[in-house]
Amino acid sequence: MSDNKYDVIVIGSGPGGYVAAIRAAQLGLKTACVEKWVSDDGKKVVNGGTCLNVGCIPSKALLDSSHKYHDAHADFEKHGISTGKLKLDVPKMLERKDKVVAQMSGGIGGLFKANKVASITGKGKLLAGKKVEVTTASGDVTVYEADNVILASGSVPINIPVAPVDPADNNIIVDSTGALEFSEVPKTLGIIGAGVIGLELGSVWSRVGSEVVCLEAMDSFLSIMDQQIAKESEKIFRKQGLDIRLSCRVTGTKIKGKKVDVIYLDKEGNEQTQTFDKLIVCVGRRPYTEGLLAEDSGVEMDERGSVFVDENCATNVPGVWAVGDIVRGPMLAHKASEEGVIVAERIAGQKAMMNYDVIPNVIYTYPEVASVGQTEEQLKSAGEEYKVGTFPFLAVGRAVAADSQDGMVKLISHAKTDRILGCHIVGPSASDLVQQIAIAMEFGSTAEDIGMTVFGHPTFSEAVKEAALAVNGHAIHMPNRKRKK
Ligand code: FAD
Ligand code: NAD
């Protein structure tokens, strides 16, 4: 095989692309991964995509730092710990975050070497006949050939004309990437969009002292989540000081010196103006396909600008596949990675399939909000018969001991078969707890199965067992409730 010919070429090294490349190489396929992102000095390729560099990992690094600060500031005293006057060094907090990112992103180069994935730096474009043209930053062009091409070019933030993100304006109006780089704590922080990013980054900066206002267009909070859990979460976040304003329509912004005026129509339709030190625009992301496909590549797009794929991530062109944020489905790192694995295995002749019904979804606030499976609203509108069990963390010993009593677990099972249909949690370690139910759902478990499983004591996960018992009316520690015989 010539040097420029591969079994598999992957375009994009985010969690969709780099995982696909590693899995393909593990299966004995000669594999290359093309990435256009380079370090500021232009010398090194930056692998890992949005997730590792400006998404999941840096946001969680800041989340943990801000949580520690908040604990020391607001909670240590209760435990008999005094610290004296606290000081936050924001540049140092950012430096730690950057180190975490460098470690994770750099690690992918090591994984590529270990698995013999060729790393190609430059912008990849799919040409007709499964050829991939790669253009480097200095303009050199090389054309490679492959039996299979996997498109994994990810997504970028959606911009809205009423609040343009322009670094020339001193980074006052920023997207999620800019919001990971504030060099000091903004005294006042506006957020357009109370979705996942708005809540995660809003709570980071709120915990270290910003007054945060979230302007959300919808009239219900977290409208796609289970509404009982969304309402409980909203209550908790408001109590923490997030000022969440629903049914707001931003109509304009004006940069004034080092601040920004945000003009919006409130719930009643009255025009309001509020001034902020910084404004984060986080109203969703869109697939990134600029320059990815030559006109004659033959790959079809869908009406939302995503690359059109079937249930196995195959495009309409045989041998061309697409995974992650550029295709339909939730824009989540683990969904992208799983699709990458499935595609690599299919290319190798296996019959791998993805179960889109069981994809956990987590909002990394404190406490976390996590879900898997169907919401009560979805089941109602589908006319499904179901049973619900809920259990509050305030009745869980470990949660009380940890002073993490806010929130609840909600488990939903089929009314007749008792098979678990969904689980929705707001509370401590919700991300890990919901994974237990994801596994149970993969095995077709019932609520009774979970109720009959021995859970360690004292653990947060006892709330999951109790919620499962509650589905059939038998929760042991249920406060203020009658139990079924
Ligand atoms: P990406 O990660 O976007 O990677 C695409 C890669 O392709 C990039 O490196 C890009 O440079 C490269 N590329 C694009 N075009 C070309 C081309 N033509 N040639 C060569 N290279 C190209 N998800 C979670 O599951 N959990 C979280 O906690 C979470 N937190 C997030 C926090 C933030 C602030 C943001 C913004 C996102 C977060 N996400 C999270 C979403 C997650 O980052 C994405 O779903 C995930 O990164 C998608 O992976 P991907 O491989 O499809 O694309
Ligand atoms: P989102 O879809 O989660 O939230 C966007 C919010 O903005 C919605 O509530 C929407 O109603 C609102 N909105 C839209 N237009 C508006 C407008 N003009 N004015 C006011 N509000 C408006 O999107 P996001 O927070 O930008 O995150 C993008 C994606 O990134 C997420 O959907 C998710 O897939 C991914 N992500 C995941 C995680 C995680 O898994 N923990 C974290 C961050 C991002």
The secondary structure of 177-234, three-state, reads CHHHCCCCCCCEEEEECCCHHHHHHHHHHHHCCCEEEEECCCCCCCCCCCHHHHHHHH
State in Å: Cα 458 to ligand 2 middle: 35
121 lines ligand 1 (CB under 6 A): no
Is the C-beta atom of 6 inside 6 A of ligand 1? no
Task: Answer yes or no: is the C-beta of 232 below 6 A from any ligand 1 atom.
Answer: no
Ligand number, closest to the Cα atom of 192: 2
CA of 153 to the centre of ligand 1 (A): 8
> Taking Cα atoms as reference points, which of 284, 214, 225 lies closest to residue 250?
214
| Residue-level pLDDT at 166 | 86
Instruction: Specify the pLDDT at position 2.
Output: 76
Q: Is residue 45 within 6 Å of ligand 1 at its C-beta? A: no
Ligand number, closest to the Cα atom of 204: 1
Ligand 2 mean position to 283 CA, how many Å? Answer: 5
Residue 294 and residue 128 in contact, taking contact as beta carbons nearer than 8 Å? yes
For residue 363, which atom of ligand 2 is closest to its CA? 41
Residues in CB range of 179: below 8 A, 6 or more apart: 197, 201, 205, 278, 280, 282
Q: Strand 361-363 relative to strand 31-35: parallel, antiparallel, unpaired?
A: unpaired
Considering every ligand atom shown, identify the ligand nearest to the alpha carbon of residue 51 and give its number: 1
Per-residue pLDDT of the chain (485 residues; tens, 9 = 90+): 778 999 999 999 999 999 999 999 999 999 999 999 999 999 999 999 999 999 999 999 999 999 999 999 999 999 999 998 999 999 999 999 999 999 999 999 999 999 999 999 999 999 999 999 999 999 999 999 999 999 999 999 999 999 999 888 889 999 999 999 999 999 999 999 999 999 999 999 999 999 999 999 999 999 999 999 999 999 999 999 999 999 999 999 999 999 999 999 999 999 999 999 999 999 999 999 999 999 999 999 998 899 999 999 999 999 999 999 999 999 999 999 999 999 999 999 999 999 999 999 999 999 999 999 999 999 999 999 999 999 999 999 999 999 999 999 999 999 999 999 999 999 999 999 999 999 999 999 999 999 999 999 999 999 999 999 999 999 999 987 655 55
- The number of the ligand 2 atom at minimal distance from the alpha carbon of 282 is 26
The response to whether residue 18 sits with its C-beta less than 6 Å from ligand 1 reads no
Distance 475 CA to ligand 2 centre (A): 36
The residue to mutate among 155, 197, 219, having the most atoms of ligand 2 within 8 angstroms of its beta carbon, is 197
**What ligand is nearest to the CA atom of residue 265?**
2
Pairing state between β 368-373 and 361-363: antiparallel
CA 262 – ligand 1 centroid, Å? 29
Per-residue confidence (pLDDT) for residue 306, from 0 to 100: 97
Alpha-carbon gap, residue 68 to 208, rounded angstroms: 10
pLDDT of residue 480: 74
The separation between CA 394 and the C-alpha centre of its own chain, rounded to angstroms, equals 27
pLDDT at 481 (0 to 100): 60
Cα of 154 from ligand 1 centre, angstroms: 5
Ligand 2 centre from 239 Cα, in Å? 22
Which residue's alpha carbon is at the smallest distance from atom 37 of ligand 1? 55
Residue 123 Cβ inside 6 Å of ligand 1? The answer reads: yes
- Enumerate the β-bridge partners of residue 279: 173, 190
- CA-335 nearest atom, ligand 1: 25
Give the residue, by CA position, lying nearest to ligand 1 atom 36.
55
Nearest to 47 by CA among 115, 1, 94: 115
Q: 326 C-alpha to center of ligand 1: Å?
A: 9
- Segments in 116-210 forming alpha helices (H): 196-207
For the Cβ of 325 lying below 6 angstroms from any atom of ligand 1, the answer is: yes
What is the DSSP secondary structure assignment for residue 72, as one 8-state letter? I
Residue 438 belongs to what H/E stretch? helix 430-442
Catalytic residue status for 457: yes
Closest ligand by atom to 201 CA: 1
> With a 6 A CB cut-off, is 112 part of the ligand 1 pocket?
no
Nearest CA to ligand 2 atom 43: 197
> Is 196 touching ligand 1 by the criterion CB < 6 Å?
no
Residue 168 confidence (pLDDT): 83
Residue 422 has what pLDDT? Answer: 98
Q: Which residues line ligand 2 (CB under 6 A)?
A: 160, 192-198, 200, 215-218, 250, 282-285, 330-332, 362-364
In this prediction, residue 269 carries a pLDDT of 95
Atom of ligand 1 at shortest range from CA of 176 = 34
Vertex 157 angle, CA 309 and 324, to 5°: 25
- Classify strands 211-215 and 243-245 as parallel, antiparallel or unpaired: parallel
**Candidate from 51, 100, 299 with most ligand 1 atoms within 8 A of CB, to mutate:** 51
Per-residue confidence (pLDDT) for residue 298, from 0 to 100: 96
User: 427: which strand partners?
Assistant: 368
Catalytic residue among 67, 73, 334, 457: 457
